[in-house]
Amino acid sequence: NADAAMYAAKSAGRNNYKFYTADLNVRASEVLAIESQFRGALERNEFVLHYQPQVDMTDGRLLGAEALIRWNHPEQGLIGPLRFIPVAEERGFIVAIGNWVIREACRQLAEWKAAGCILPKLALNLSALQFRDPELLSVIEGQLVAYDLDGACLEIELTESVLMDDVEGTLQAVEALRALGVSLAIDDFGTGYSSLSYLKRFKADTLKIDRSFVRDIPQDLDDSAITRAIIAMAKTLNMQVLAEGVETAQQWRFLADEGCDQVQGYLVSPPLPAERFEAVLRDGAMLPSEMALP
Ligand code: C2E
Ligand code: MG
Ligand code: MG
Ligand code: MG
């Protein structure tokens, strides 16, 4: 009967509503929990950097690494950046975190250098907000001086949206970084909007092909065509091209055939804690075992 049906629909609707708000509350309380713990986490040194190797496709030589932040949470264990970086950006903590990343990266580079293991280049991810921070340059320069490091040992990874957000401002900041010897990589390339003419003006050193294009090569013909086109374009613009998220030997082979310069991904190595990365650094080469060289 109609009344019963109406009642059922209403209560179902109410339940949906309840689930919906419960879900939002969970998320909101997680954001609050993360927010309230940030400052303490920085003071207690709960953040850590992991290091993912970047290798030359022709000989497996270790060319550099990307520093990826994790939060070693006292109760929840290791928390990945996707769970807290957006909150940090929203709540005004990202500059403090970014400054910590710069300092920790330089400290670690100096420690490895003192131990006789030279990492040619360490790439850092900087949020757009950090890139707008007028102190950024002096923070980087200050840490390079404090740890007696050459600017060439750092690379800054920016996404297309950062480049396009404020073209002139970003160009100025990039020029100033370059004057310190720091190089520039464009991260997640192909997922944002960027004008090719600006890409040329930025003179980025490295173009990182986003993992979403790499995932289904060589089976997916569209992704294969896009990847091939990005490699060709990078070469034309005299940039190094690096493929992110390489997990399989087939992906490696396709990329090698297309002339991709560098690779970063689980096939070579996942991001590693400092002690384990140091062992890689001592070896110097990281060719995945199944990748026989020509
Ligand atoms: P990203 O800069 O594009 O970093 C690459 C991400 O892909 C990392 O995730 C890495 O662990 C993951 N990855 C690498 N190889 C593979 C692979 O073969 N397969 C798969 N499935 N994944 C792979 P992670 O560490 O979770 O970082 C996620 C994002 O968080 C980063 O994306 C970056 O945008 C951001 N992030 C990480 N560290 C920092 C930081 O220190 N500061 C800021 N502002 N953002 C950071
Ligand atoms: Mg990155
Ligand atoms: Mg990326
Ligand atoms: Mg990404």
Q: In the predicted model, is pLDDT for residue 16 greater than 50? A: no
Query: Is ipTM over 0.85?
Result: yes
Relative to the CA of 89, which ligand 1 atom is closest? Answer: 44
Establish whether residue 69 lines the binding site of ligand 1, counting it when its CB lies within 6 angstroms of any ligand atom: yes
- For residue 232, report the phi and psi dihedrals to the nearest 5 degrees: -65, -40
Establish whether residue 104 lines the binding site of ligand 1, counting it when its CB lies within 6 angstroms of any ligand atom: no
Give the ligand at the shortest distance from the Cα of 94: 1
pLDDT score of 180: 97
8-state DSSP, 61: B
Q: In the predicted model, is pLDDT for residue 4 greater than 60? A: no
8-state DSSP, 184: E
- pLDDT tens-place string over residues 113-135: 999 999 999 999 999 889 889 99
Confidence of residue 291 (pLDDT cuts 50, 70, 90): low
Distance 245 CA to ligand 4 centre (A): 10
Q: What pTM, to 2 d.p., does this model score?
A: 0.90
164-to-112, 160, 242 alpha-carbon distances in Å: 36, 6, 21
The mean predicted confidence, pLDDT, of the chain is 88
pLDDT score of 11: 45
CB burial readout 194-233, b (16+ within 10 A) else e:
beeeebeebebbbbbbbbebbbebbeeeebbebbbebbee
Q: What is the mean pLDDT of residues 242-262?
A: 97
Lowest mean pLDDT among 39-43, 151-155, 208-212, 252-256: 39-43
Percent share of the chain, pLDDT over 70: 87
Let me know how many helices (H) and strands (E) the chain has, helices first: 12, 10
**Residue 9 vs residue 266, higher pLDDT:** 266
d(CA 80, CA 286): 24
Distance 76 CA to ligand 2 centre (A): 24
Amino acid (one-letter) located at 60 = G
Distance 71 CA to ligand 4 centre (A): 17
Q: In the predicted model, is pLDDT for residue 197 greater than 90? A: no
Relative to the CA of 98, which ligand 1 atom is closest? Answer: 42
- pLDDT tens-place string over residues 133-156: 999 999 999 999 999 999 999 999
- Atom 33 (ligand 1) nearest CA: 125
Q: What is the mean pLDDT of residues 68-73?
A: 96
